[in-house]
Amino acid sequence: MIDEGSAAHAPGRRVRRTPRSGVGWLLAPSLALVLAGLILPLVLMARYSLAHFDPAATEVSGFGVENYVRFFGDPFYLWILARTLTVALACTAICLLLGVPAAYVISRVSNRRLKTALILAAVIPLLMGNAVRAAGWMVLLADKGLINSALLVTGVISEPVRILYTGSAVVIGLIAVLLPFMIISLQSVFEGIGETYEEAAATMGARPWTTFFRVTLPLAMPGIFSGCLLCFVLAVNAYATPVLIGGPSFQMMAPKVYEQAIKVYNWPFAATLAFILMGVTLALTLLSSITLQKRYGAL
């Protein structure tokens, strides 16, 4: 029997090796796109955030941290940041509670046509823009909208209930936007787990609920983390839904960035708001990732 190692080094024999260094140039377009579309704007935004705002100047000038001092020294902006994070966390938690059962049921449906129909039902809302969906919620939640009209006709309420232009309306609108992302993310994760683990737990006497919470959910934790992260990031940076459904009195970070940049033309402070929002989101993401890694291992 010929040893493969000795055969590879035998004289007169040539072993064809795949050149790995020659294909490195294939990464160049992607790296250039990331550099041009992500890193350079971040560098420019960091520079703008440290600039001095002069309404009469046409170019960015100055260098200092006065914009950050203004933000962290003003309770109004800290309150907007806290509200943004609270709304994003609430939407993410509700999407998780609603998305886990829906995704699990879809993953366990054996009929292919029914499964396809359920997946399409979850994906179809993504085909509409956020502004279109927000306009639809405005029709539903207005003081004379469909919901209030139906409640008045049935006698449940005697006068319209204020729903539109409130925090509850913003949460409802964001959940409608984010829930499909959570369902699609978790559905593929539950399908990858399979039913063998559940059957093994059942043979050992575990009840269905015990199996789900102690076997299925821990195995699906990497996918749950990814789905929650996606929903949280989208909720933190939401613009159309807070503006259209929340109204001018409901302040969040993304509309505030737009207001400072486009209406006030204060690009340095707008860059500061965006940079702080990005930094807080990144810090919370890293903290939650480290916590989950300690609890469930590598994600």
Cα three-residue angle 100-104-108, rounded to 5 degrees: 175
Q: Domains of the chain, with CATH numbers?
A: 83-249 (1.10.3720.10)
Say what the pLDDT of residue 212 is.
Answer: 85
pLDDT under 70 in the chain at which residues? 1-24, 56-58, 296-299
Q: Which residues lie below 8 Å from residue 272, measured CB to CB, with a gap of 6+?
A: 49, 67, 68, 70, 71
Neighbours of 98 (CB within 10 A): 15
- Predicted confidence at residue 55, as pLDDT, reads 74
Phi first, then psi: give them for residue 52, nearest 5 degrees: -95, 135
Q: How far apart are CA 156 and CA 150, in angstroms?
A: 9
Each residue's pLDDT tens digit, 214-245: 888 888 888 898 899 999 999 999 988 898 89
3-state DSSP of the chain: CCCHHHHHCCCCCCCCCCCCHHHHHHHHHHHHHHHHHHHHHHHHHHHHHCCECCCCCCCCECCCCHHHHHHHHCHHHHHHHHHHHHHHHHHHHHHHHHHHHHHHHHHHCCCHHHHHHHHHHHHHHHHCCHHHHHHHHHHHHCCCCHHHHHHHHHCCCCCCCCCCCCHHHHHHHHHHHHHHHHHHHHHHHHHHHCCHHHHHHHHCCCCHHHHHHHHHHHHCHHHHHHHHHHHHHHHHCCCHHHHHHHCCCCCCHHHHHHHHHHHCCCHHHHHHHHHHHHHHHHHHHHHHHHHHHHHHCCC
pLDDT of residue 250: 87
Query: pLDDT at position 13, please?
Result: 53
Instruction: Give the residue from 192, 263, 194 showing the smallest Cα distance to 226.
Output: 192
pLDDT value of residue 206: 80
Q: Identify the CA nearest to 236 among candidates 196, 276, 293.
A: 276
pLDDT tens track for 111-136: 889 988 988 888 888 888 777 888 88
pLDDT for 247 equals 83
State the CB neighbour count (10 A cutoff) for residue 252: 26
* Gap between the Cα atoms of 12 and 10, Å rounded: 6
